[in-house]
Amino acid sequence: DSPSSERLNNPFLPQTNRLQPKVAPAAVSGPAHLFRLAGKCFSFVESTYKYEFCPFHNVTQHEQTFRWNAYSGILGIWHEWEIDNNTFVGMWMREGDSCETKSRQTKVHLVCGKSNKLAYVSEPSTCVYSLTFETPLVCHPHSLLVYPTLTEALQRKWDDAEQLLYDELITEQGYKKNLKEIFEEAGLLKAAEEKEVEKHNKKISLEFETVEKCSKEYKQLSKEIKRLQDLLTQHGIAYRGNSAENTSVEHQSHKPATAMTT
The per-residue pLDDT for 68 is 77
- List all residues 6 or more positions away from 258 whose beta carbon is below 8 Å from its beta carbon: 233, 238
pLDDT digits (tens, 9 = 90+) for 104-154: 999 999 999 999 999 999 888 888 999 999 999 999 999 999 999 999 999
Read off the pLDDT band of 237 (50, 70, 90): confident
Q: How many CB atoms lie within 10 A of CB 199?
A: 11
Read off the pLDDT band of 3 (50, 70, 90): very low
- Name the percent of the chain lying above pLDDT 70: 77
pLDDT at 262 over 90: no
Task: Determine the 3-state secondary structure of 73 from DSSP.
Answer: strand
The per-residue pLDDT for 232 is 77
- Angle, CA 196 vertex, CA 191 and CA 199 arms, to 5°: 150
Q: Average pLDDT, stretch 87-94?
A: 94
Q: Average pLDDT, stretch 71-97?
A: 92
The per-residue pLDDT for 64 is 83
Read off the pLDDT band of 246 (50, 70, 90): very low
Q: What is the C-alpha to C-alpha distance for residues 134 and 116, in angstroms, rounded to an integer?
A: 6
Residues found in the chain:
262
Read off the pLDDT band of 238 (50, 70, 90): confident
Q: Average pLDDT, stretch 3-30?
A: 64
Read off the pLDDT band of 261 (50, 70, 90): very low
The per-residue pLDDT for 177 is 94
Q: Average pLDDT, stretch 143-171?
A: 95
The per-residue pLDDT for 100 is 80
- Angle, CA 5 vertex, CA 108 and CA 75 arms, to 5°: 35
- Please give the domain boundaries of the chain with CATH numbers for all domains: 32-146 (2.70.130.10), 150-191 (no CATH)
226 or 253, higher pLDDT: 226
Taking alpha carbons only, the member of 64, 63, 65, 126 closest to residue 96 is 126
Q: What is the C-alpha to C-alpha distance for residues 151 and 186, in angstroms, rounded to an integer?
A: 8
The per-residue pLDDT for 243 is 46
- Name the percent of the chain lying above pLDDT 90: 49
Taking alpha carbons only, the member of 59, 23, 24, 64 closest to residue 42 is 59
Read off the pLDDT band of 71 (50, 70, 90): confident
20 or 170, higher pLDDT: 170
pLDDT at 83 over 80: yes
For the chain, the C-alpha Rg in angstroms (whole number) is 28
pLDDT digits (tens, 9 = 90+) for 189-214: 988 755 555 455 555 555 555 777 77
